A and B are shown apart, each in its own frame.
Chain A
Amino acid sequence: AQSVTQLDSHVSVSEGTPVLLRCNYSSSYSPSLFWYVQHPNKGLQLLLKYTSAATLVKGINGFEAEFKKSETSFHLTKPSAHMSDAAEYFCVVSGNYGGSQGNLIFGKGTKLSVKP
C-alpha cells in the first residue's frame, strides 16, 4: 500500500531564510508524488509533481522538490521564505500505478509559519 509520512507537523522559519519540509513515502512501485499547499479558507493548490521524469522538480512560487529513491524521500525546499508562504503543506502520493484508479493519499500536513 502507498503512504506518505510528513516528518514535521509544524515548521517555523524567518522571512528570507530557507524552507525545508520533509516527506518520506512508501510505495510498491515507482510512485507519482505531489506537494499541495492550502492557505486558510482557500482550496488546495498544486505546487509541483513528480512523475518519473527529472528527479529535481521545480514548482510554483520558487518551490522545488527532489525525488530520492534510495532514501524514499521527496522533500520540499525553497531558498528564501516569504510571508505569503505561511500555509499548510501536504505531501501526496498517487494511490495506484499511473493514477489509473484516481485516488490521492495525503500526508497529515506540515504547517509552515514565517516570522518577520
Chain B
Amino acid sequence: DTGVSQDPRHKITKRGQNVTFRCDPISEHNRLYWYRQTLGQGPEFLTYFQNEAQLEKSRLLSDRFSAERPKGSFSTLEIQRTEQGDSAMYLCASSSRATIETQYFGPGTRLLVL
C-alpha cells in the first residue's frame, strides 16, 4: 500500500494525558498536512510542512499541540494535557511538488478524551 498511513487508528485517553500520533506520507511527497475533523463538520487545517520545515500553523493549533517532521519524511503530532474538546478525528495528508494542491489523505486517527 503506497498511500498515506496513520498510526494509531484509534486512541482513547484520559483528560490530562499526552498523546502522540504518527503520519507516514506517500513516498517522495514533500508536503505534509494535518487537519482535525469533529463530528458533523468538515476537516479544519492545523498545520503543514514542506520537507522538514513547518511553514504554516492555524490558530486552532494551541500551545498544547506540537508537530514535527524531523527528517522530512514521517511526521508526529503531539497533544499535551489533553482536554475533552480535543476529541476528534486527526487527518494527515500529503502532496507532491508536481501537484501541490492535490492532497491525498490518510485514514485518520480517532481520538477520544474521557
Binding site for B on A (CB under 8 A): 32, 34, 36, 41-46, 49, 51, 90, 92, 94-95, 98-109
Residues of B with C-beta under 8 A to A95:
45
CA of A103 to CA of B104, assembled, Å: 13
CA of A106 to CA of B104, assembled, Å: 14
The listed residue with most A CB atoms (<10 A of its CB), out of B48, B50, B95, B100, is: B100
Q: A103 is contacted by which of B33, B42, B105, B108 (Cβ under 8 Å)?
A: B33
Q: B108 is contacted by which of A43, A46, A101 (Cβ under 8 Å)?
A: A43
Contact status B91-A44, CB under 8 Å: yes
Q: Does B40 contact A (CB under 8 A)?
A: yes
Binding site for A on B (CB under 8 A): 3-4, 31, 33, 35, 40-45, 48, 50, 55-56, 58, 91, 93, 95, 100-108
Residues of B with C-beta under 8 A to A107:
42
Number of A-B residue pairs with CB-CB distance less than 8 Å in the complex they form: 65
CA of A103 to CA of B100, assembled, Å: 10
A103 to chain B, nearest CB (A): 4
A–B complex contacts, Cβ < 8 Å, 14 sampled: A32-B101, A34-B101, A41-B107, A42-B107, A43-B108, A44-B43, A98-B100, A101-B55, A101-B56, A102-B31, A102-B50, A102-B56, A104-B43, A107-B42
Contact status A43-B106, CB under 8 Å: yes
Residues of A with C-beta under 8 A to B40:
108-109
CA of A102 to CA of B47, assembled, Å: 9
- Closest-by-CB residue of A relative to B43 is A106
- Other A-B pairs, 18, CB within 8 Å; known A44-B43, A99-B100, A102-B31: A34-B101, A36-B105, A43-B91, A49-B102, A51-B101, A90-B43, A100-B100, A101-B48, A101-B55, A102-B33, A102-B95, A103-B45, A103-B48, A105-B45, A106-B42, A106-B43, A108-B41, A108-B42
Contact status B45-A104, CB under 8 Å: yes
Q: A46 is contacted by which of B43, B55, B102, B107 (Cβ under 8 Å)?
A: B102
